[in-house]
Amino acid sequence: MKRTLEGMAKAGEPLLRDALDAIRAHQAAQDSGASPETIERLRVLADSLYHAVVDFQLLEAGSLSESIN
């Protein structure tokens, strides 16, 4: 399945907005020279939210089992 912004938007605006905000916060922390711990925490958060959006998209498309842990 193609992972496009349009497809990810199907995950719902709030979830998509949270993921994009987390990605931006991670980038801003890197640009501002934040501590490695802060950068890593924001990276993990951004990664997690991105994967939640993708998983939701795949569930909607029927390409992913509904028994995700």
pLDDT value of position 54: 83
- How far apart are the two ends of the chain, measured CA to CA in Å? 21
Q: Is the pTM of this model over 0.75?
A: no
**Domain extent at residue 11:** 5-61
Instruction: Indicate whether 44 belongs to any domain.
Output: yes
Number of domains making up the chain: 1
Each residue of 3-57: pLDDT tens digit? 666 665 665 678 888 999 999 999 999 999 999 999 999 999 999 999 988 887 7
Residue identified by tokens 């998509």 is 16
pLDDT at 42: 98
Rounded CA separation 30/24 (Å): 10
pLDDT tens digits along 50-64: 998 888 777 777 765
> CA-CA distance, 48 to 26, in Å (whole number)?
12
